[in-house]
Amino acid sequence: MRNVRGMMWKDLNIAELPRLSRFPFQVQSLGYTHGGIYPEETHRYERFEVCIRRYAQAVTATECINGTVYQVKFPNVILKIPGMIHSFALNFPRDVVHFTYAAEMEDALRKVLPFPEKPIWEIHLGGRENQLITELMDLMEKSHEYGMTDRIDLVAFQLLELLIFNYNYSILHPDYYETKIRSIASYFQLHYKEEIDIVKLAMHYGMSRSTFLRHWQRFFQKTPGQYVLDLKLQEARRLLQENHTLSVNELTLELGFKGAAYFCSLFKRKFGMTPLQFRNYVKTERFSY
């Protein structure tokens, strides 16, 4: 590892390390880059490289690839094809994970994977993607141990396959985000009593907080916070109807409200009466029957 112009960089060459299996897609090298700011550079690539830009201190990246300019949001992935002419500038630090194959592996990979027509595209780093990246980085530290190179080959291929399949799925299903948003809504319905970290939840589904909020608004009129709050209050109403022994303090703790006074205020705003007034109203209604 070394630090070059503010950049932390590590690249591990495993091309000559022995393999135990006959898996055909053997990784030549892998590594990561963090940081780095420098003027525009132009490269011509000799190997096939998968370069995953996980995040950067910028919203988008602008790249010129074989004369075509691409502008893509972070996180994104670029496939650096042998012979590609690539010009770019790093004006903001970024975090990158990369692995390479021998040039002749490009054709073999294209025969088994449905490569996108463009070499760079936005990606969504969900739980599975991040799991594979973490596993790949962990294996880097054990590359000389028995069987580790074979595992690197398999994990790298699984990661590339997942990124390409996700891209093709998003093209075939324009409402790619709808499934994610409705899955998050289902999560809210199951976990509304708990403290929910929106940022971590969005990241689990491969979205930034801003991307999640933007797409949430497409399907729900209420904000996520209002949606969860409404679930809490509806449950409070149900409990008041069905359980006549729960106190206001117990309801407050059960549903994760910050305090009894706050809970009562929200309940009255929603239903036009305090929790105790509602409970008495329910008793009166039942008695009248």
* 288 pLDDT higher than 70: no
pTM score, whole prediction: 0.63
pLDDT-derived band at 120, boundaries 50, 70, 90: very high
| Mean pLDDT value of segment 12-35 | 93
The 10 Å Cβ neighbour count of residue 180 is: 21
CB 42 within 8 A of CB 76: no
Residues 102-120, mean pLDDT to the nearest whole number: 95
Q: Please tell me which of 20-34, 201-215, 275-289 the model is most confident about, judged by mean pLDDT.
A: 20-34
The pLDDT mean for the chain works out to 88
Mean pLDDT calculated for residue range 26-38: 85
DSSP-assigned letters across all residues of 69-83? EEEEESSEEEEE-TT
Q: What pLDDT, in 10s, does the model give residues 230-277?
A: 999 999 999 998 877 889 999 999 999 989 999 999 999 999 999 999
Both tokens of 83, joined, read: 């012979």
Q: Is 224 exposed, middle or buried (0-12, 13-18, 19+ CB in 10 A)?
A: buried
Cα separation values, 255 from 48, 190, 200, 238, Å? 53, 12, 21, 12
For the chain, give the percent of residues with pLDDT over 90: 61
Residue 280: pLDDT band (50, 70, 90) is confident
- What pLDDT score does 233 carry? 94
Distance (Å) of CA 185 to CA 173, 190, 199, 226: 20, 9, 14, 12
Q: Give the per-residue pLDDT at 36.
A: 67
CB 38 within 8 A of CB 91: no
Residues 6+ away with beta carbon under 8 Å from 182: 219
Residue-wise burial string across 232-271, b where 16 or more C-beta atoms lie within 10 A, e elsewhere: bbeebbebbeeeeeeebeebbeebebeebeebbebbeeeb
User: What letter represents residue 261's amino acid?
Assistant: A
* CA pair distance 57, 249, nearest whole angstrom: 45
The whole-angstrom separation of Cα 217 and Cα 57 is: 25
Query: How much is the pLDDT for 4?
Result: 46
Of 52-61, 76-85, 99-108, the one with minimum mean pLDDT is 52-61
pLDDT of residue 225 exceeding 60, the answer is: yes
